[in-house]
Structure 1
């Protein structure tokens, strides 16, 4: 191994150690602070110096907790607790996740999310619709699949929020956490980012148009069509 190779290996090892330490530190901070569901975390520019973490270290640790369903991001508003720091609920979901399949998760989404879109068409304020539009625009500009998927998750949760029902929103959060826990396998990706022809772009437009038009039936049907399209891509690739 050359000196350059050794230095590269040391850099990679240091990065892994740094990522792990940042994640442990962020978990401890959240636990000790006792954040409750829906409570907003301090912005990165404040939290980073408080924890002694560089911005990219903190952001990567946050992304891990978003993937785990501990945190969720609301575009333009910040990062929030998705569930309490008490692990009893998490343990229940973990046990449930071991007994279900991706098909079970998709069936549940097909039952819940079209109803959320219907409710959003009835109850969403203009500000919620504007937020959906902004999230869609940002998803079109996503430079990576990971960035797109985070914005896609934001879009679906924003519809749940726009329903105006805290009960339905809580159900969505539980199902979304389960979705992240269930093993979906490795999906084939064409390119580093979603192509302009990615079907979800047009499907999201149709959902938002229906919500904005206050057409509850159209919103319900557009969401169901979208999820069927997602289902087809997921299970065709697996």
Structure 2
């Protein structure tokens, strides 16, 4: 019989190594049991644990999905995505995410910080942009969860859902992030500040990271922010 902790890690490894993105659906339980060599009861106990940690969400009749449960339905996301300009999304990120980082520095647990560290490492090891973006999204989501504030998490999920519904059209000149990609160092600084409990430093590091990203993706949004 597989130990629950071992089975939990194997499910995590499956999610991490298969390139799943936020809200991607996992294979049916029957297939997962076959791949992992376990029973359905054992698998369901582990899935319940991972769901409680915000790593997956489940919907009866639809399946198991990667990431935390969405707070908006697709109709809401489509409506907001059509109403809001990209520059407005950026402005809200500049307002909310530094504060999330500040709170994460104050309230994160060891498990939260380990999850952030994993995301940072996987971003740096990504073999293509799609994988990098998935782990970058996971990092920002892990920071939001670490605030231990459900209302802030709701705001972040709303913002993130709308942001991901917008086509940004960022040009890519390489197949994967270069070894000296600036976001790697920026992620390190955010993680270091959160891990040290330095709330203001964490907020400033996140703001600097977002400014760096949008100086490449949407420079006009920085002008609008001043």
Relative to the length of structure 1, the TM-score reads 0.65
One of 160, 165, 177 as aligned partner of 1:194: 177
Q: Are 2:130 and 1:146 aligned? A: yes
* Alpha-carbon separation, structure 2, partners of 1:44 and 1:101: 35
In the alignment, the residues of structure 2 paired with residue 41 and residue 221 of structure 1 have an alpha-carbon distance, to the nearest angstrom, of 32
Which of residues 175, 197, 206 is equivalent to 2:159?
175
2:147 counterpart residue number:
163
Cα gap change, 1:160/1:45 in structure 2, threshold over 3 Å: closer, same or farther? same
Q: Is the 8 A contact 2:103 2:147 kept in 1?
A: yes
Question: Does the alignment pair 1:105 with 2:92?
Answer: no
Cα deviation code 1:46-78 (max 9, x no counterpart): 35479xxxxxxxxxxxxxxxxxxxxxx839xx7
CA contact (8 A) 1:187 1:237 kept: no
Mapping of 1:24-173 within 5 angstroms?
44=27, 46=29, 48=31, 74=55, 79-80=66-67, 82-83=69-70, 89-173=73-157
Distance 1:144 1:166, change over 3 A: same
Q: Which among 187, 194, 198 is matched to residue 204 of structure 1?
A: 187
What is the CA–CA distance in structure 2 between the aligned matches of 1:202 and 1:125, rounded to whole Å? Answer: 23
**What is the DSSP-based 3-state SS (H/G/I as helix, E as strand, rest coil) of the residue aligned with 2:180?**
coil
Q: Which runs of 5+ in 2 are unaligned?
A: 1-22, 34-53, 57-64, 222-226
Q: RMSD over aligned Cα, in angstroms?
A: 2.9
Task: Quote the Cα distance in structure 1 between the aligned partners of 2:112 and 2:203.
Answer: 17
CA spacing shift, 1:47–1:97, aligned 2, 3 Å = farther
